[in-house]
Amino acid sequence: MIFIIKKLVTHCLLPPGIFIILLLLACIFLKRRLKLLAFLFALFIYILSIGPTKDILLVPLENSFVVPSLEEVKTGDVYVVLGGGIYDNAPDVDGKGTLSGDALARVLTAYKLYSISKKPVILSGGRIFGRTAEADIAKRTLISFGVNEKDIIAESKSIDTYENALFVKEIADAHRISRIVLITSAYHMKRSHLLFSRRFRDIIPYPAGYLTSRTRYDVLSFLPSAAALADSSLALKEYMGIAFYRIRP
C-alpha cells in the first residue's frame, strides 16, 4: 500500500501529472468556456501520458514486421543500421559522445547478429547542426564490442531517414550489395521500410528496441508519466512521417 501511495504522489508531483492537476484546479476559477478548454487540455495530456494509450499507438507500428529467423538473416549481404540519436560530447569509456537509447538498441542488435553471422555493417547517420556524426560514434561503439573495423562502413552524410536510404543505396551500389538486413527501432521500421523499398528490391527488416512490453495493465499503467507521453509523441511523429512520405515521391 505504501508503494502505491508513493507512486501516486510521485506521478502527481512530476510532469505531466502536475500540469494535469494545475489545469484541473484552474477549472475552479476560470470562466465557463475557459474552464471547458482547460479540462479538455488536461484530459488530452492525461490520455497521451498513460501506458494503454502509448501501446495503442505503438503496437501497430511495432507489429508491422516480425523479427525474421536467423536462417533468413544469414542470407543477407550486409547489416544496415539506422541512426537514432546521440548525446554529443557526453563522456564515455572510449571517447566523447554516446548513443541514445534507441541508437544503442539498434547497434547492439547489429552486434548480436554480427556475432552469429559475420557480414559487413553499414552505419547510417550524419551530422545535425554541427554535432559529431552519429555513424562515427556508432562505429566506435561497435569496435569496442569487438567488431572488426574492416567490416564497418560509416555513412556520415544523412540527416534523416530519407537520406539514410539515399546514401546507403550509393554505398550498396559501389560494393555490389543487393540484399540488406535493415536494422532500426521496431516503431521506426514501417517508415524506414517504406523509404528503403523505393531504392532496394530485397530487404530483410529486423526490428529492434521494442517500447511495448505486451503485459497486462495494472493501476500504475493508468498513472500519467513523462515516459509514456514521450512514447506517445514518438508514435504520432511516426504516423506523420509515414503520411508525409506516402505523399512525397
CA distance 81 to 123: 5
Answer whether 39's CB lies under 8 Å from 23's CB.
yes
Q: Which residue has the cell 550509393?
A: 170
Phi-psi domain of 54 (left: phi exceeds 0; alpha: psi -120 through 50; beta: other): alpha
CA distance 30 to 14: 24
Reference 205, options 73, 85, 112; nearest CA is 73
Least trusted range by pLDDT, from 21-30, 66-75, 145-154, 192-201: 21-30
CB atoms within 10 A of CB 235: 24
Q: Residue type for 192, please?
A: S
Reference 207, options 71, 61, 54; nearest CA is 61
**Which tens digits make up the pLDDT trace of 151-163?**
999 999 999 999 9
Q: Which residue has the cell 550498396?
A: 172
Asked if the 67-208 domain carries CATH number 3.40.190.10, the reply is: no
**Which tens digits make up the pLDDT trace of 127-182?**
887 789 999 999 999 999 999 999 999 999 999 999 999 999 999 999 999 999 99
Identify the pLDDT of residue 33: 84
Query: Cα torsion for 201, 80, 235, 133, to the nearest 10°?
Result: -130
pTM for this entry:
0.94
Q: So where are the chain's domains?
A: 2-61+221-247, 67-208
Identify the pLDDT of residue 70: 97
Using alpha carbons, list the distances in angstroms from residue 200 to 77, 180, 232, 238: 12, 8, 30, 21
Whether the predicted pLDDT of 53 surpasses 90 = yes
